[in-house]
Amino acid sequence: MKKLALTILVLLMVGIFPVNSLAGEIEDAQQKVGWLPNDPNAYFNLGVAYFKNSKFQEAITSYKKAIQLNLNDAGVFNNLGAAYIKLGNYKLAVTSLKGAIKINSGYTDAHQNIAIAYAKLGLIDQAIASYKNVLKINSKDATALFNLEKLETKVAEQKKTIV
């Protein structure tokens, strides 16, 4: 009986711990923002904590504040774009991701994310071009290779049905 109670207690702790950990991550990040209100990294980290907790609108607010404090961080623009994608706002995602690519043209994550946004907008040619940009940077990027092949197959199938 004692062993069963201990096992249940451990399972409850394991099941609850990740939730507390994620909530604690937001609280910690909020506290750092309070201590360092002019630090763009504090807002970026708060945005990351919100994003991990699927609080995408809050993440967007934090990322925008980080951008106000530092206009030259491609990572913040990329994460802002990713949050917009999660909310289904693909046009704003593209705008943000273009900002990331302008700052760092070799940022493969931004190229991947903009390809996703373009595909969601039905702009398949732009999505294909973005995946090709990823492959120019890293020819072995498995995600880009897979998604590029998928889009090119889709385009080929559409051309067959038109003819």
Query: Which residue from 97, 99, 137 is spatially nearest to 113, judged by alpha carbons?
Result: 97
Convert the pLDDT of each residue in 87-138 to its tens digit.
999 999 999 999 999 999 999 999 999 999 999 999 999 999 999 999 999 9
pTM of the model: 0.83
What is the overall mean pLDDT for the chain? 89
In this prediction, residue 28 carries a pLDDT of 97
Number of helices (H) and strands (E) in the chain: give both, helices first.
8, 0
- Cβ 42 vs Cβ 32: under 8 Å: yes
- Cβ 26 vs Cβ 50: under 8 Å: yes
Residue 12: pLDDT above 50?
no
Measured distance CA(88)–CA(85) in Å, rounded: 5
In this prediction, residue 129 carries a pLDDT of 97
Of 15-29, 64-78, 131-145, which range is least confident? 15-29
As a whole-number percent, the residues of the chain with pLDDT over 70 amount to 87
Can you list the domains of the chain with their CATH numbers? Answer: 2-162 (1.25.40.10)
Packing angle of the helix pair 142-162, 124-137 (nearest 10 deg): 150
Looking at residue 105, what DSSP letter applies?
T
